[in-house]
Amino acid sequence: MATKPQKDSFIVYRSFFDAIEPLSETDQLALLKQIFEFGLNHKEVKLEPLPKAMFSLIKPQLEANHRRWTNGNKGGRPKENKPKHNQSITKAEPNKNKNVNKNKNKNVNNNVNNNNVLTFNQQLTQELEKEGLR
C-alpha cells in the first residue's frame, strides 16, 4: 500500500501578511496557525468569526496551490510513444515508378554574336568621319 505523499512546503503571499497585520495578536496567531495547517495538511481548525472571515479570503489561493501540488504528484504528462528498439530495419528498395517520360527536347543554344552592332557613339563617330567633320 502506497503512502500518501506529505507536503513539505507551500506558498505564502504578501497579501496574506497584509491581511493579518491589522488583527490583534491572538487573532493573528489563530489565523497563521490555520494558514499553516491548511497549507501543509489541507485541514481546517475551528476559528473565531474574524479570523474565520479573513481565512475565507485566503483559502481559495491555498486550494489552488494544493491542486497544483496534487496534480504534480501524479507524474505529469504521459510520455509519447516511441518505436521499440527490437523492430527490424526495413531495407531500402529501388523506386518502382521509374521516369518513363524521357526528355525529348534537345537543349541547343545557337548563340550568334553579331559584332556589327555599334553603339550610338560609334555610329556618330563613323558618320562624322565620313563627312570629314572629324
Render pLDDT for 75-97 as a digit per residue (tens, 0 to 9).
767 777 666 666 666 777 777 77
Note the helical H segments in 44-119.
49-72
In a domain, 123, yes or no: no
| Spatial distance between the Cα atoms of 65 and 43, rounded to a whole number of angstroms | 14
In a domain, 101, yes or no: no
* pTM: predicted TM-score of the whole model, two decimal places: 0.52
pLDDT reading at 1 higher than 60: no
> Looking at the 3D structure of the chain, how many domains does it have?
1
Supply the range of the domain harboring residue 66.
14-72
State the pLDDT confidence band at 104, using cuts at 50, 70 and 90: confident
In this structure, what C-alpha cell is assigned to residue 99?
521516369
In a domain, 111, yes or no: no
Burial zone of 64 (CB within 10 Å; 0-12 exposed, 13-18 middle, 19+ buried):
exposed
In a domain, 55, yes or no: yes
Residue 8: per-residue pLDDT: 86
Residue 26: per-residue pLDDT: 94
Mean pLDDT (whole number) for 114-122: 72
All residues at 6 or more sequence positions from 34 whose CB lies less than 8 Å from its CB, including other chains: 44, 45, 47, 51, 55
In a domain, 79, yes or no: no
Q: Which residue has the cell 485566503?
A: 58
In a domain, 36, yes or no: yes
In a domain, 19, yes or no: yes
pLDDT mean across residues, the chain: 81
